[in-house]
Amino acid sequence: MLRKKLEERITKVSARISIVVFFLMAFEIMIMISPFAFFFYSVFNPVFHWLDRFASTRWLISFFLPHMFSLRQNSFASCACLGPFVSWLVP
């Protein structure tokens, strides 16, 4: 009897956790395909560059922040420079 209640409770908790995880994943996708993503990367670009300067934090860029782009290409560099200005135009 106790084992059955424990299994039911674990099932309910794991179901709720999985729903929350999937909701967060969908929310992240919605944010990244919206105009807010352009604003996000233009504002946090200096933070990304600061993390990229140190060997101890460089792994964060490739592991947790895979959306960061390289500024070695001219087109990306112009986006990074114009980003803060263009983000004010997006309603």
Beta-carbon contacts of 63 under 8 Å, excluding residues fewer than 6 positions away, are none
Q: In this structure, are 28 and 41 located in the same domain?
A: no
How many domains in the chain?
A: 2
Alpha helices in the chain, H assignment, sequence order? 2-32, 36-53, 58-63, 74-87
Looking at residue 65, its pLDDT comes to: 58
Looking at residue 18, its pLDDT comes to: 94
Q: In this structure, are 56 and 77 located in the same domain?
A: yes
Q: In this structure, are 45 and 64 located in the same domain?
A: yes
Q: In this structure, are 45 and 11 located in the same domain?
A: no
Looking at residue 15, its pLDDT comes to: 93
Q: Are 43 and 88 in contact (CB under 8 A)?
A: no
Q: In this structure, are 47 and 79 located in the same domain?
A: yes
Q: In this structure, are 49 and 90 located in the same domain?
A: yes
* pTM over 0.95, yes/no: no
Question: Domain range holding 78?
Answer: 34-91
Q: In this structure, are 62 and 43 located in the same domain?
A: yes
Q: In this structure, are 49 and 84 located in the same domain?
A: yes
Q: Residue 82 pLDDT > 80, yes or no?
A: no
Q: Read off the pLDDT of residues 35-70 as tens digits, 9 standing for 90 and up.
A: 777 777 777 778 878 888 888 888 777 666 555 555
Q: Residue 90 pLDDT > 90, yes or no?
A: no
